[in-house]
Structure 1
Amino acid sequence: MAKKPVTRIDPRKELSPYLNHEFNQQKNSRKSQAKISASLPSLQAERRRSLRRRLGLIMSVSILAIAGLGYYISPLANISTVKVIGASDLPIKGIVKASKIKASDKVFDYLFQQKDLSQKLSKKYPEIESAQAHLGHVNQLILQINERKTVGYLKDGDDYRKILSNGKLGSTAITWTKVDQDKPIFVGYNKSSSLKEDLNLFNSLPKSFQNQVKLLSGNTRRKSQVILVMKDGNVIIGSTVTLKSKLKYYDEIKVKAGKNSLIDLEIGAFSRPLTSSEKKAYGVS
């Protein structure tokens, strides 16, 4: 019986792929472990830095909070002086009194009570539209007063009172030297109702015409009558009902009439020179 040929197998050759794969796996594992070992100190250092930043932030906020609380409860936070700015004709002491600010009050309390402060001052002084509180020096409170716009002046005896943009009168009387000469003067208005009506009429007129008006007189023959003394020396008599619509004729009549004329727009539209007594009555020279 013939012998079968024997195939010789080298075990190392057969196992070499597996051995090489295992060797590579071990090699890669050692590299990964080496990388992880190398990154651990960096990761730990970054964590320490992050922890220090958080601790620093917490400590800073805590220190500021403690310092702020310490300042608030200390006498340094008490109001020492009050400075009022923006009040042109109002009494400074009166404003401080109306605000009810006391020396024992805390400065910061008023920084968060702006609306309440404005209401107190506006109630006492109609001239004040709003007020803001600001911190001056360490314990100085500054009151910034914002006044309402003045649209004219009411003659009150020998003095004058501001007519404010909301239709109310100023609380204090001022002298002629403090009157804005560009604003109209309302003279002879003994009733607030007639003043309000004529003021509403004046505010409805064109701005270019308003700037030419020097004086409005309440000394009229009829309730519906309105008298305007112009800066150019002319006097206009009109009706509160029709004056606005008839103003389109004023410039043309003024050119023909000349200076110091009475221009009547109440019934029709005509003019004549002012008499000496009328000039004196209306303050025209």
Structure 2
Amino acid sequence: MTKKRITKIDPKEKLSRYLDHQSKQKKRKNQTKISASLSKLHSERKNALFKRLGLIVGISILFIIALGYYISPLANIQSVKIEGGTDLPLKEVVKTSEIRPSDKVIDYLLHLNDVNNKLTDKYTEVKNVNISVNHFNQLVLQINEYKTIGYIKKENGYCKILSHGKLGTQLLPWNKVSQDKPVFIGYNHEVSLKNNLKLFNSLPSDFQSQIKLLSGNTRRKSQVIFLMKDGNVVIGNVSTLKSKLKYYNEIKTKVGKNSLIDLEVGAFSRPLTPNEKRAYGLT
């Protein structure tokens, strides 16, 4: 009986070939990934470079345009337009602002506070000033004023009484006085005006709107006199009038036109005398 020949197989040799094959495959894959990554990185760097160059070129063009505008006559102020501040002298406002035709528009946009401070320092009416530009070289001053709560009679005209407690700088004729606002007359002392103004501001808005005139020609410092739009006169005490207004509407419905409603001590009414009518301008 013939013995079969046994061939010896080295498992390490077989496994080694397999492992070498696997290793080569991984190397190929890694090389492919590295190549793709390098290609992507190169592309990203190229795009980033183009973006930076585009940004630099864009900024340079804008700078050249801005510089060209600044040194051109188009950047010089050609005119000044005033909006708001209707009772202020416009030529004087421009002169006070120290704006000159040869100046550059951009300089005033960058130094807005300088113009604002010059105008608010001179005119008590001016609350603040905004600056804008029309048609490249027309400077527009938007003047915002304090609210007018009334007028005070002066020797030759009327001044605004402003919401922050100061008087306007301009002396106005009667036709410039708003008929919706009360007029303070006969106030020769600033203290009495401040006291009555403080009282007026504390009164209900519906009562304020009915007042035509406040008179400082009183017998006592504590007394206050209101001429109402309906032709009646109200007398009160600075300290107690506000608390007594609850009687006003009730009394008003019972009296006729040109009556005196006295809330100073008690609460009563009577018709005005002919002399009182003349004194309050009701005849």
TM-score (norm 2): 0.90
What amino acid sits opposite 1:231 in the alignment?
K
**Pairs within 5 Å for 1:216-235:** 216-235=214-233
Cα distance in 2 for partners of 1:138, 1:201 equals 49
Cα distance in 2 for partners of 1:199, 1:33 equals 90
1:211-233 deviations in whole A, cap 9, x for unaligned? Answer: 11110111112222211001111
The answer as to whether partners of 2:112 and 2:131 remain within 8 angstroms in 1 is yes
**Which residue, 101, 126, 130 being the options, matches 1:132?**
130
Cα distance in 1 for partners of 2:217, 2:83 equals 39
Cα distance in 1 for partners of 2:259, 2:165 equals 31
2:161 match: 163
TM-score (norm 1): 0.90
Of the structure 1 ranges 139-148 and 267-276, higher mean CA displacement relative to structure 2 is found in 267-276
**Which residue, 194, 197, 200 being the options, matches 1:196?**
194
The answer as to whether partners of 2:234 and 2:260 remain within 8 angstroms in 1 is yes
Q: Does 1:49 align with 2:38?
A: no
RMSD: 2.1
Q: Does 1:30 align with 2:18?
A: no
2:9 match: 10
Cα distance in 1 for partners of 2:12, 2:112 equals 92
Of the structure 1 ranges 260-269 and 22-31, higher mean CA displacement relative to structure 2 is found in 22-31
Change (3 A) 1:155 1:14: closer
Cα distance in 2 for partners of 1:248, 1:31 equals 96
1:2-55 deviations in whole A, cap 9, x for unaligned? Answer: xxx9963135x6512211210221133223323443554444233212210111
Cα distance in 2 for partners of 1:264, 1:159 equals 30
5+ long unaligned stretches in structure 2: none
Give the drift of 1:84. Answer: 0.8
Of the structure 1 ranges 142-151 and 238-247, higher mean CA displacement relative to structure 2 is found in 238-247
1:69 match: 67
What amino acid sits opposite 1:8 in the alignment?
T
Cα distance in 2 for partners of 1:105, 1:169 equals 33
2:80 match: 82
The answer as to whether partners of 2:127 and 2:145 remain within 8 angstroms in 1 is yes
Change (3 A) 1:19 1:161: same
Q: Secondary structure at the match of 1:279?
A: helix
1:184-225 deviations in whole A, cap 9, x for unaligned? Answer: 011122222222221111111121211111101111122222
What amino acid sits opposite 1:99 in the alignment?
S
**Which residue, 134, 147, 150 being the options, matches 1:149?**
147
2:256 match: 258
Cα distance in 2 for partners of 1:95, 1:132 equals 14
1:116 match: 114
2:92 match: 94
Change (3 A) 1:45 1:180: same
What amino acid sits opposite 1:284 in the alignment?
L
What amino acid sits opposite 1:156 in the alignment?
K
Cα distance in 1 for partners of 2:272, 2:33 equals 109
Give the drift of 1:117. Answer: 2.0
Give the drift of 1:72. Answer: 2.7
Q: Secondary structure at the match of 1:151?
A: strand
Give the drift of 1:169. Answer: 1.4
